[in-house]
Amino acid sequence: MKIAVLFGAKSFEHEISVVSAIALKKVLNSEIVYIFCDFNRDFYLIPTDKINSKRFSSGKYKKDKKLEIKNGGFFQKSLTGYKQLDFDFVLNVIHGSDGEDGKISSILDFFNINYIGPRIEASVLSYNKLYTKMYAKEIGVKSLDYTVLNKEDSRDIKLTFPVIIKPSRLGSSIGISIVKSKGEFDYALDVAYEFDNQVLIEPFIQGIKEYNLAGCYADNEFKFSIVEEPQKEEFLDFDKKYLDFSRTKRVNEAELDASMVEKLQDAFKKIYGNIFKGALIRCDFFVHENEVYINEINPVPGSMANYLFSDFEDTLLKLSASLPKQQKIICDYKYINSIQAAKGK
């Protein structure tokens, strides 16, 4: 089995994607074909035996073979034409914009390329935290109360502190601040607005429990990871998340009773539904007073959350055999031909 790991792209989380892609080399036994998308959105074939972070930071990757995307896959240009890159499916490991906002899934769908990752609708709903909350409400999953603030809006709003401020369309804790008083509010907003023109403001609940659960739907059933309780201080900042994305060792399972695990899995199933089929996702949940709340949907989790699975590769391969198929559409110009026949042409 050959897996094409697609990573990089134009995003605030570009470097995290590079780290995630390299980490997968340690956990996958299948042959890996590395496809790098740089900040100019050009594609390169990266030698698997020479991949390292310096190759990208130094620009050395530009000496690697350039690729073009066409119907059915990625191609190398040669003296005799184009040669198609050989792989069984693409693994989308592009974090943030381009990879999680629907751009890359649109391209892969358009060119009829098999891939593991969120489809267009799933990307849109999970990339924007406001849309995630709206979606959760419709399917019966709770989320914390929130206020939406746009960059042009007045900042003169009533809040009970402490609160947490998040850019609506960003992950990896970039631009997030915990605000404990009115005096910290303007600065925290300025930080968030550096990354997005819309923010979400939620109550910050001291001591709230957080649990992570990953999974997918394959072989006509849900494949769940263990439930992890992240070990952290108030929240994981960017630097901690950056290290988190390079994890390859399996983590310890949270100490939860069976009924709470079932509650988390039930919430996951509702969120995953039909819309996330074809993707391996991680849901970050809050638990407060025995109630489950969705915090965030990670449609392309760091290093694909391999550290949560007892057999990550087996899960991926089973998912690759259960990918959604595009509806077959036949264009035979019957309608146009009937009009032409009626006109005698």
| Annotated domain spans of the chain | 2-118, 124-143+207-320, 158-203
The one-character DSSP state at 178 is: E
Exposure pattern of 64-80 as b/e (b: 16+ CB <10 Å)? beebebeeebbbeeeee
180-222 pLDDT per residue, tens = 999 999 999 999 999 999 999 999 998 899 999 999 999 999 9
Q: 3-state DSSP call for residue 268?
A: helix
CB atoms within 10 A of CB 98: 23
Q: Is the pLDDT of residue 344 over 80?
A: no
pLDDT at 340: 86
The domain made up of 2-118 has a fold known as: Rossmann fold (3.40.50)
CA atoms of 188 and 244, how far apart (whole Å) = 24
Mean pLDDT (the chain) is: 93
- Kindly report the pTM of this predicted structure: 0.91
The domain made up of 158-203 has a fold known as: Dna Ligase; domain 1 (3.30.1490)
What DSSP element (H or E) covers 283?
strand 281-288
Q: Is the pLDDT of residue 235 over 60?
A: no
pLDDT at 139: 98
Q: Which of 294, 296, 304, 236 is nearest to 264 (CA)?
A: 294
Q: 3-state DSSP call for residue 188?
A: helix
Q: Which overall architecture, per CATH, does domain 124-143+207-320 show?
A: 2-Layer Sandwich (3.30)
What is the secondary structure of 138-172 as a DSSP string? HHT-B----EEEETTS-S----PSSEEEEETT--T
157-166, 230-239, 267-276: the lowest-pLDDT one? 230-239
**What is the pLDDT confidence band of residue 242, given thresholds at 50, 70 and 90?**
very low
Alpha-carbon dihedral sign for residues 248, 253, 258, 264? negative
127-186 pLDDT per residue, tens = 999 999 999 999 999 999 999 999 999 999 999 999 999 999 876 678 899 999 999 999
Q: Which two tokens stand for residue 275?
A: 């819309």
